[in-house]
Structure 1
């Protein structure tokens, strides 16, 4: 269900991106990226009092739930007032007066969305991913439909602001429909210190993550045309497709799943190494194939007007191969109660990387993209060192896993390279040839999984068997009727 939630959101996001990239100009998208980046950084400060503390706590009471909501709600109000006060200055800094209204709307959306965070934490604690999927999927669909409709009606970059507001309203209504706990609105600060202790490191890590993602684009937009922000943002979005399709569901489940293992007093080493093997066997081949097929992918996802983003996608895709362990670092360490160490790892990795990429952004798009070959390997090393202190795997065990996944990755490459060679090693393949290359890659990938006896193959067989069984049962049910 967690995978279904992520895939539904990714598909909606892809459709929205494909349409908006054709309805809006690169500059309009750049303006929206700036405003949304500011909002993302600001509202992630409420993670300092995150409701996710409820997931980790062994027993919770009504007072705990009321305290969680009270803290998140009032911190959201303070953030909204702060960014609303700064909105005129931000608009003046970027010389875009309409940024002010955009930020006001985001401020309202953030307050509304505070109501959902506590309910979402309770649903995740109880592993009710189906309910959470419906809430988030319908919220994403609302955001996409409203944004696209308003863009079609020439609302420009403001389409994103109104879409965010509509999505927040829908998610709030669906959240209370799933858990009608209106009593949480009664203020309570019982045990508030525990929320700050848990949220201190969680909040600092989350703010650092969002700053790391948004700040380079904010710097880029300050010193270069906003079209540069639009290009880099869309290149990042396309490069993130393998992450969203293959890894997002893992991240959604990782923390509650690892926390459940710890509560049951079981070791997380085997689970951690197994998931690393799955991630690399899925993620690495996808990134390599994306780099080869960047032109047709960009044409489908964004349109031919975005050809300038293709070299950026190729650079970012190759660099992203070093990112594989980072997605598990925070969930594993927090589940083990090492909140401080999780923050330290993130602070060292992301903190120093932020300085590097912000400096690189002064020198243009390509230097910013190439800086990923410095920051991502550095983050990978930091991540593995910190996790290894709490999950005692050996470097030999990790190397064996990565070697096998490397062979699987090599198996996925010959097909696309053969198609590229037949095209004179010109990357601007047609959609038809890109589909042929993708199918050949999939065949080579499956063959490599079988030849190397990769553990992911067993998982794929189980998944296939599950769906076959469901189909057979449905057919038997239809026949009996």
Structure 2
């Protein structure tokens, strides 16, 4: 448990650092680039993301799940991932003129070519990253990811300042990939991994078949709104939705991504040790829900001042879209654990089927809503996300036989604590005549009241997270606590 706690702390620290960097980048870049430039970049990055997700058919996560890992498995995984990355990059470069013509954006061609180069660099060290995750070396991974995020932010801002427009983001992606590659090779200098091998390719593709299809579906689901909007509306609409989605995703990055980084290796280790994971699963659900729900709803309440501070006054059309997305996204908390739990049991087919059913139906809903404008697109999340949550729980129960009553008890406690957290801020809004355009002082007061209400709920209802607070404080402040004690 101590190793998992430390890993979760490091993964959370990683996310905290990246979220701070992301907020700074979003805030400054939104003032240097207009919604049209942001929209064009969002289209290009979405296309690159979908394309390079195809290499998940030879996923490096095979190296994490494999019970007995042999050197030849590592070499074959490296060969396949890098080979697929190169093929995808060449394909993107060849198709880039046609993609640019489809969107009537000639400059999109060069953007896609640069994204293709970054994908090859990432593919070079993807297996090394997988081995670090298998060994739960989240300290090294945190340093690598934070350095990459810093490089991305600095290069993007300097390039935008110098007038490179939306191309700034493509240049920054290459810089970030290069920094991550250098640091990964420094942390895991296993040069022998690059010796070509195809031994055991069938096993890797067998493992990655469902994973690859599921990942492609995920990326299509996430990118489809921007790609459809880019075709039927102006790039500025894509930029507005992109900014709303990015700000809405900050609690996701802070809470859920950290949980996912640790969940797969942790669950895989539990399954390899043949231990029951029902209690572990319900405990992680309780952690995620009690952290994620208040954060998302507070973001919805403070949408006006947050958009003004983070994006600037020129992005006010983002506010109603952001508020809708934040309220709907509370249903997404369960989905983050579906893949790591099922794949830890080797149930790749179930993981794919659950994703295909949940995301497949949602993709149809989102695609239909996209033709009716930004508000309809945001409201469609109230259909797709609850449906995905239900599918997630149904498939996980096949491997983790928890009772619905037990799950509801966990969620009810988190729900009550969430209500206690937002009660104070909602009172401030009510006293101001339900005007959500709060001042800076009112916003700070809302945050303080939310923190007080949340902490009171955690203590009164004895939420399991309370047991983790001493370990978290020891991690964060133990060095300063131990030094005076040692001196005494």
Could you state the TM-score of these two structures normalised by the residue count of structure 1? Answer: 0.98
Q: 1:325 aligns with which of 328, 334, 343?
A: 334
In the other structure, the counterpart of 1:169 is 178
Residue by residue over 1:39-91, the C-alpha shift from the partner in whole angstroms, topping out at 9 and shown as x without a partner, is 00000000000111011112222211110111011111111111111100111
Aligned 1:82-121 pairs, distance under 5 A: 82-121=91-130
In 2, distance between residues paired with 1:116 and 1:203? 18
Contact 2:303 2:322 in 1 (8 A): yes
In 2, distance between residues paired with 1:474 and 1:368? 54
In the other structure, the counterpart of 1:23 is 32
Matched, 1:216 2:225: yes
In the other structure, the counterpart of 2:4 is none
In 1, distance between residues paired with 2:394 and 2:245? 27
Could you state the TM-score of these two structures normalised by the residue count of structure 2? Answer: 0.96
In 2, distance between residues paired with 1:160 and 1:186? 33
Residue by residue over 1:347-403, the C-alpha shift from the partner in whole angstroms, topping out at 9 and shown as x without a partner, is 000011111101110111000000001100110110010001111011111111111
In 2, distance between residues paired with 1:451 and 1:5? 30
Cα deviation for residue 421 of structure 1 reads: 2.2
Cα deviation for residue 468 of structure 1 reads: 4.6
In the other structure, the counterpart of 1:228 is 237
Cα deviation for residue 434 of structure 1 reads: 0.6
Cα deviation for residue 431 of structure 1 reads: 2.0
In the other structure, the counterpart of 2:142 is 133
- Count of aligned pairs between the two proteins: 479
In 2, distance between residues paired with 1:465 and 1:81? 49
Q: 2:86 aligns with which of 77, 93, 107?
A: 77
- Where 1:97 maps in the other structure, the secondary structure is coil
In the other structure, the counterpart of 1:347 is 356
In 1, distance between residues paired with 2:379 and 2:141? 37
In the other structure, the counterpart of 2:427 is 418
Aligned 1:50-69 pairs, distance under 5 A: 50-69=59-78
- Where 1:60 maps in the other structure, the secondary structure is coil
Cα deviation for residue 465 of structure 1 reads: 4.6
In the other structure, the counterpart of 1:247 is 256
Cα deviation for residue 295 of structure 1 reads: 0.6
- Where 1:390 maps in the other structure, the secondary structure is coil
Cα deviation for residue 176 of structure 1 reads: 1.3
Residue by residue over 1:413-453, the C-alpha shift from the partner in whole angstroms, topping out at 9 and shown as x without a partner, is 12101221232211111222111100001101111112222
Contact 2:264 2:344 in 1 (8 A): yes
Q: 2:457 aligns with which of 417, 429, 448?
A: 448
Residue by residue over 1:7-64, the C-alpha shift from the partner in whole angstroms, topping out at 9 and shown as x without a partner, is 2112111111111000001000000000000000000000000111011112222211
- Where 1:453 maps in the other structure, the secondary structure is coil
- Where 2:60 maps in the other structure, the secondary structure is coil
Residue by residue over 1:199-228, the C-alpha shift from the partner in whole angstroms, topping out at 9 and shown as x without a partner, is 111111111111100011100110011111
In 1, distance between residues paired with 2:359 and 2:384? 8
In the other structure, the counterpart of 1:191 is 200
- Where 1:389 maps in the other structure, the secondary structure is coil
